[in-house]
Structure 1
Amino acid sequence: MDKAEAYRQLTEEIASVVAGETSETARYASAACLLAQAFQPRFFWTGFYLVDPLKPDVLVVGPYQGTLGCLRIPFGRGVCGHVAATRASIIVPDVHAFPGHIACDSASNSEIVVPVFKADGSLAGVLDVDSTEFGAFDEIDQAGLVEICRILLTA
């Protein structure tokens, strides 16, 4: 099956699993697990960094699958902080060339980060996916992950 079809099927599965679930943590944890399982080993680290309600300009690690993640990331720092500040998705084919990249795990070589929004339009956090491969992500990944984040919003 091609990647677009894999995302389509995974989107349906995630939507079914999180339907009616009121806990954001449960929705994010389920999505991270299903994404990591569906695309392993290409997805080396898959998870969420959430806006800290006590420090709204800082992301704090949320549900994820993979090696130890950074605990906190200020808005504007690294790839995740960049997406939190700009509220726009980004594909980084080589994280080592990204200005200010934060190396939470030195095995990561490429990354895609998608903003996650609340129903009121405010930023809930970001979905971060890392790969040990260079250039592992493309527009198909971006479209699929954006759609999955939209489902998490409306669950």
Structure 2
Amino acid sequence: MNFEALKPQVETIISNANKTTDERLLSICQLLERHIEYYNWVGFYFADSAKKELHLGPYVGEPTDHTVIPFGKGICGQVALSNQNFVVPDVAAQDNYIACSITVKAEIVVPIFVNGENIGQIDIDSNTADPFTEADERFLEFVCTQVAQLF
């Protein structure tokens, strides 16, 4: 399924006031993992700015031990500081990478902003080498803009 076809589904999930925020976030994860072949782990991390940590939110995929990530550590921790998208075509080539699974070959992380503040991010791992394009970035920016409405 293409990204444009997924956008209305993302909007529908976000606007469903009968579900909790976490239920809606989990539904987004499930939608993306189910419909985008190379999205093998999809999850959200949210910032605790006082502690300078990211905390794992809803996700789908293999369980992870990385439920708390210090700002600056790994790809997610770097995005917490840089406030910019981070696309990693080959995780093996990254010095500051936290390995979640030996099957992961690439990662993309896009921050979520509320009133100009980076409150968290969507994190996607792929078992396919170098699968992410600019279209993935633009789509995930759209997803993060939608998610920001929940906060």
TM-score (norm 2): 0.90
Deviation of the 1:53 alpha carbon: 6.4
Q: Tell me which amino acid in the other structure corresponds to 1:10.
A: L
Q: Equivalent residues in 2 for 1:1-155 (5 A)?
A: 6-19=2-15, 21=17, 23-40=20-37, 42-52=38-48, 55=51, 57-69=52-64, 70-118=66-114, 120-154=115-149
SS at match of 1:106: coil
Quote the Cα distance in structure 1 between the aligned partners of 2:99 and 2:26.
23
- 1:93·1:136 contact (CA, 8 Å) conserved in 2? yes
Cα distance in 2 between the residues matched to 1:128 and 1:50:
11
Using the size of structure 1 for normalisation, the TM-score is: 0.88
Q: 1:128 is matched by which residue type in structure 2?
A: D
Deviation at 1:68, TM superposition (A): 1.2
Question: Cα distance, 1:27 vs. partner?
Answer: 2.8
Q: RMSD over aligned Cα, in angstroms?
A: 1.7
C-alpha distance in 2 between matches for 1:66 and 1:20: 23
Q: Which runs of 5+ in 1 are unaligned?
A: none
Counterparts of 1:74 and 1:129, CA distance in 2: 18
Superimposed CA distance per residue, residues 123-150 of structure 1 (whole angstroms, 9 cap, x where no aligned partner): 2211000111110111010111111111
Relative distance call for 1:27 and 1:124 in structure 2 (3 A) is farther
- Equivalent-residue separation in structure 1 for 2:60 and 2:91 (angstroms): 19
**1:18–1:30 CA contact under 8 A, matched in 2:** no
The total of aligned residue pairs comes to 148
* CA drift at 1:114: 0.2
Shift of 1:20: 5.0
For residue 105 of structure 1, report the CA deviation from its aligned partner.
Answer: 1.4
In 1, Cα distance between the equivalents of 2:149 and 2:46?
A: 17
Gaps of 5+ in 2: none
